[in-house]
Structure formats: structure tokens, C-alpha cells
Amino acid sequence: MKILVTGGLGFIGSHTVVELQNEGFEVVIIDNCSNSSPEVLQGITKITGKEPIFEQFDLREKSKVQDFFKKHQDISGVIHFAASKAVGESVENPLLYYENNLSTLIYLLQELSGKTSANFIFSSSCTVYGQADELPITENAPVKVAESPYGNTKQIGEEIIRDTCNVSKNLNAISLRYFNPIGAHPSAEIGELPIGVPQNLVPYITQTAIGLREQLSVFGDDYPTSDGTCIRDYIHVVDLAKAHVVALQRLISSNNTNTNYEVFNVGTGTGSTVLEVIQSFEKVSNQKLNYKIVGRREGDVTAAFANTQKANEELGWKAKSTLDDSLGSAWKWEQKVRS
């Protein structure tokens, strides 16, 4: 069975490609390499023993999307990762995020809506909840006004998919609302390698520890949390990748006949503060991290961590790795990349 993975050379996408190939799926990747590298193919191939098909182009080019689906008419499912994903950058450049994150989704759904049967998994985010009223966050929590354009593109994206599924009964879709992916494959063949200055906490931590960055900025220590820093639910990227595979299998087997659109939280169910993440990293790496408390960052919520009961029970999936496991694998990957 052939599965398209957009953004399949990116951090989460590449790990999902590995897990798909390990389960026997044939994978085709589309990636424009704006925040990734074709060299990631080598890591995927080393891990799985099989090189996925790769086409490099920008999904914003509608004609190329149409040409791709004419060429690959046997695509049975799509896992859509390709998107811009930095909260801070989205606040500074909202139009880039609306164009890149929404037009690409629409073009893919237009192609899938014409198929007799199609399966679609959307890379959504816990940002749709904003600052939730209750913790841990369930899928029934209200979707609030987004704190950032990035978060808003995820909200709008989910609405687009839901509305499309309402009229396209041939389309089965799942949105996975995941929390904060970190870590790297245990082989250290693939991992998170942002181009330019990292926008996420853990790669900034590892790059600071290795000497690539002078200092880590911790945005705010006056939040109403145990140590004043923000709380997030940090999930190992391999656990997250496996969630995509079981979600795809659920769609293929049509285990749920009640609806053709579902949402699931994907996290560990445990929240960690920024300072707790730093302490965990210092423990597993035996490195003293140079960090400084600075002012709050626009668009950040105080706390977000998942209630994962629905995914645990209905998908049969559960996160297995600890925070220490995740940070240890991230450090192993950083050391290999810089060696």
C-alpha cells in the first residue's frame, strides 16, 4: 500500500516514514527542503534498508500537486506534515503561515476528494486549545481563539478537513493534536536539525550544550507554575511517529463506522516546566547548560499537557519513552551531527 508523506524529510515526518516502512508500507515523500535536507533520505535508508521515493517541490504550486497525483494514482493515504511551524515566526509573518499551511492542505484535499476512497492524517497541534480551562486537556476541550497565526492555521485546517469530510464520504480523516515532539531515533541516523536558529526548546538546548549557541533564553519565570516557567507535554518523536501509523491503520481498516473524521490528542499526559527540561538534560548529558531568564515570548500559553485516554483506548497507542529518554536521544543525535 502506497502512502504519501508530505514534509517527509522533516523532523516528525522522517521518523514517521521509518515507522511506516517498518510496517511494510510503500512510502512516497514530497518535501521542498525549506527546513530539511535530502540527506535525511540516507538516514531513513540506513535504518529501514529501503529508500523511499522522493519528489522535491513546493506544495503551494498547485499544478505540481495535480501532476503528482496523476503520476501516483495508487496513493491510498496521505499523512500531511508539510507546514511552517514556529509560533514566534508566525506572529512576525502571519501571511506566510496562512499561505503555506492552508493552501497546501486545500490542494491535497481537492485531489483526494476525487478518489473512490482516500485516507488522510493531519498534523495538528495542541495550540488549538490555547490556554485550556482545565488540565490535562481532553479532545472535548473548547477550541479557543488562537494565541498565534500558527495555532490559527491548525484550527482552520481542522475546520477545512471536517467540512470536506462532511460532503466527501469517500474521505476518511484523523487530526492528531500533538503536544511537543522532542528526541531522535535511537540509531542517531535521523533527528531534529533545524536550518538556522532553532525555534523549539530542545534543539536550542542541545546546540547550546555543544557550543553552537552561546546561551539559551528561557522566556519568562513569572508564570503561575511550580518554578515560574511554562509547562509543556514533551513526547518522544518515535512514540509520536508510531501514533501516525496506528491512526492510518485505523482508517484503512475502517474501525470506526460512526464518523469519517476524528481527532486524537497525542502526548505523554505529563507536563514538564522549561527548567525541569533543562535539569533533565543536564542529568542525562552530564553538561552544565548556559541559560538566562528573559521576558515572556508573545504567543506562549502558561501550561498545556494532554489527557491521552482516547488515543490509549481507541487507537491502542501509548507513549513509552520518558523525558530523560527523549533528551538523551536528542543529545546523542546532536553529538553525531557535530562530530
Active-site pick, 97, 129, 150, 178: 150
Q: Any catalytic annotation for residue 261? A: no
**Taking a C-beta distance cutoff of 8 angstroms, is the pair 244, 79 a contact?**
yes
139 vs 308: CA distance, rounded Å: 9
Closest Cα to residue 219, out of 204, 236, 238, 237? 204
60 vs 278: CA distance, rounded Å: 38
**Taking a C-beta distance cutoff of 8 angstroms, is the pair 4, 78 a contact?**
yes
106 vs 62: CA distance, rounded Å: 10
Q: Output the 3-class SS for the chain.
A: CEEEEECCCCHHHHHHHHHHHHCCCEEEEECCCCCCCCCHHHHHHHHHCCCCEEECCCCCCHHHHHHHHHHCCCEEEEEECCCCCCHHHHHHCHHHHHHHHHHHHHHHHHHHHCCCCEEEEEEEEHHHHCCCCCCCECCCCCCCCCCCHHHHHHHHHHHHHHHHHHHCCCEEEEEEEECEEECCCCCCCCCCCCCCCCCCHHHHHHHHHHCCCCCEEEECCCCCCCCCCCEECEEEHHHHHHHHHHHHHHHHHCCCCCCCEEEEEECCCCCEEHHHHHHHHHHHHCCCCCEEEECCCCCCCCEECECCHHHHHHHCCCCCCCHHHHHHHHHHHHHHHHC
Q: Which residues carry out catalysis?
A: 150
